[in-house]
Structure 1
Amino acid sequence: MKTTAYFESVVRPKRPEIEIAWIEQVLANPIKTVTQIDRRMCHWANIPEADGRVLRVVTLEDGETIHNAFFDRNFFKKQQRGEQP
């Protein structure tokens, strides 16, 4: 798994509860993928082991290099209300 320096120096220490296996799961089976204006890609998926919360993984434009990962409360709330996130 390729990662950015930002991911290693900021994200991993700040969010140690996010498991690498979960990040790989999101990239392998996203429920939604969007390309941002800056060409980074956002991938979302529910993580059953984290009470079904939605993990958002941001990659560089190659779709493989991990730049950020966090639980997306807004996506999860919309999903719970039956809205299209």
Structure 2
Amino acid sequence: MYVIGELIAFLIFAVALIASSIFVIAAKNIVRAGLSLIVSLFSVAGLYMLLNAYFLGVIQVLVYVGAIGILILFAIMLTKTEMGSDSDVR
């Protein structure tokens, strides 16, 4: 019974990782791509936890999701981008 639970958790993390990784590449909105990068990093941390590598899972969340992910999102949001088309400017 315990093995079935691990298998289900692995499948959930694997599908979330594959889907969010594809969305990182395919997203046209860069903020959504950054958020899906954070989801994929969380999925990798979950896979580390399933492998009983708890230290790597915690470090993955603290360093990559907590620091790098938020840094990327702040850099994206603070970058000045044009909103709308040229016809909006008067």
Question: Do they fold alike, i.e. is TM over 0.5?
Answer: no
Larger Rg, first or second structure (1 or 2): 2
- Structure 1 length as normaliser, TM-score? 0.29
- Structure 2 length as normaliser, TM-score? 0.28
Higher helix share: 2
Higher strand share: 1
